Amino acid sequence: MTKRVKGSCTTVLVGKKASIDGSTIISRNDDGHEALDPQRFVVVQPEDQPKQYQAVISGMKIELPDNPLRYTSTPNAILTNGIWPAAGINSENVAMSATETITTNPRIQGLDPYVEGGIGEEDIVTLVLPYIHSAREGVERLGALLKEYGTYEPNGIAFSDQDEVWWLETIGGHHWAAVRIPDDAYVVAPNRMNIDEFDFDSADTLCSDDLQTLIEDNHLNPDFNGYNLRHIFGSSSVKDTVYNNPRAWYGQKYFTPEVEQDPMDQDLPFICHANRKISIEDVKFVLSSHFENTKYDPYGDGTEAEKTLIRPIGINRNHNVHILQIRNHVPAEIAGVHWLAYGANTFNTVVPFYSNVNDTPNCYKNATGTFDLNNMYWLSCATALLGDTDYNFYVDFRNTFELQAMSVYHEIQNETDKAISEQADVQKFLEAANEKLADESLKRQTKLFGDMVISGSEHMKLRYNLND
C-alpha cells in the first residue's frame, strides 16, 4: 500500500431546527499533515465519473454503478496520493463531507483488523456521493462498501439532505455505526470517536448487522448500563485531552456558553443544543477559532505553556473549510450552497457558491503547486502567513474585511435568490452569480493582503528612525 496521508480535521453539524433559516448544515475543516496542500473547487460531470475506480493509496479496485449524478468537489490540486475530493453536493441536493480522522482502541482492532487493500479518505466521496438520493441512503451505501471492501483507517463521515443530517463512524476494518442528528441539535466532532450513547432499537440509528453481537460476544463494553460507543470502540488517551477534547469543548462553549465544562474532559457530549439558532457565521467562527478569550489562545495573553498546551481549531494546516448548506424555503434549484474558503481560517471568508452548476470560477478551480496570488488558495495562504506574524496588529484589518465581504456575499445571494424564478437557464444564471461572488472574493482578499503589507511595512524590525 502507498504511504498513507493522514488528516486531522474538525466537523460541525447542525440540524434544520437548530439553524437560523431552517437549513441543514454539515461542515468541516479539511486539515492535512503538511501546512500547504493546494486545493481546487470543481464540478464532476456524470461522464467524468470513473466506471472502474482504482485507489492510489490502497490499490483497491471497484466497479461503480451506472448513471452517476453530477456533484461539486474539492479535490487536491496535486494528485500524487489520489483525488481526495473532501466534500460536495450532488444534483439531488445531497451533501457529503469525508472524512474526519477518528480514534480507536486495540480491542476492536484485534477483532476486526484494518484492511490494507480497503477504502479510505482518498476514495469515499467518489465512491458514494454520485450515487445517493438522500442522507440515509449515503449511510447505507457507505456501510455496504465497508462491509464488502473494508477500510484501512478510522473515519467519521457526514451526510445531509433537506431534512436530515447523519454522522457515520467506521469501527475496525469492516464495522460501522451512524446516528441521525436531531433536528434541534448540533455536533462538534474532533479527531476522536465521537458517538457516545447509542440505541440499537432506534429509527435514528444504523449500524453493521452484527455490531451489538460483536460487543456482547467479545465483552467489549466497559459500562454497566447502555452502549456508549466512544467508551467501547474509541480511545481515552492523554493525547485526546490536549489534541481532541478541547476542540469539542470550545465549540460547545461558544454555542452553549451556560454549560460549564473542562476542556480535557473525555466525556464531553456528542449531541448538544445551542442557546440560540446557529448561522453560517457562527459555524465559520468555530471552525476558525484558536480559543479566543481564553488562556489557551496562541495569540493571547496566557503563559507560553498555556498557549501551546492544546491544539487550536483554526490552524496552519487548514487546507479548506467547507460549509455545505441544504436550504429549505427556497426552490430546489438553489437549495444547495457550497460555502468555501481556502488556507488557514484566521484570515479568510467563506463564499456561498451555488452547487447547481456545471462549472466553477477559475480562481477557485485552477490551483497548482506553483505559488500564484491570482489564485484564491495561494492568496489565502499568503494572507494568513502575514497575519500570523503579528495577529494583534492585523486582526482589525481581518475583522473589517470579513464584515464587508460577508455583507456583499449575502447581498449577491439575496439578489440571485429573488431573480431565480425569471431565469430560462438556471444553471447559467447561477454560474454567473458564482463568478460574481468569486470576483468579489478575489478582489477583497487581495485588498486585505495589500492593506496588511502597506501597514505592516511601517512596523518591520529592520528599520532606523533617522532619515537621510
SS3 of 145, please?
helix
Distance CA 52, CA 61 (A): 7
Name the packing angle between helices 376-389 and 426-456 (round to 10°): 30
Query: Tell me, what DSSP letter sits at residue 240?
Result: I
Torsion sign (Cα): 318, 358, 139, 12: positive
Distance CA 160, CA 237 (A): 31
CB 142 within 8 A of CB 128: yes
Cβ partners under 8 Å of residue 37, min gap 6: 76, 78, 319
Q: Which residue blocks in 210-359 are alpha helix, DSSP H?
A: 211-217, 229-233, 238-239, 245-255, 280-288, 304-307
The cell numbers describing 319, all together, are 487546507
Tell me the longest C-alpha to C-alpha distance in the chain.
84
Q: Determine which helix (DSSP H) or strand (DSSP E) holds 275, and give its type and residue range.
A: none
Q: Determine which helix (DSSP H) or strand (DSSP E) holds 379, and give its type and residue range.
A: helix 376-389
The cell numbers describing 178, all together, are 451512524
Give the Å distances, CA to CA, from 377 to 18, 345, 441: 31, 12, 12
Give the Å distances, CA to CA, from 45 to 8, 35, 48, 382, 433: 29, 30, 5, 32, 20
Give the Å distances, CA to CA, from 259 to 79, 249, 253, 269, 272: 44, 10, 7, 11, 11
207 is catalytic: no
SS3 of 165, please?
strand
Distance CA 248, CA 384 (A): 24
Catalytic residues: 9
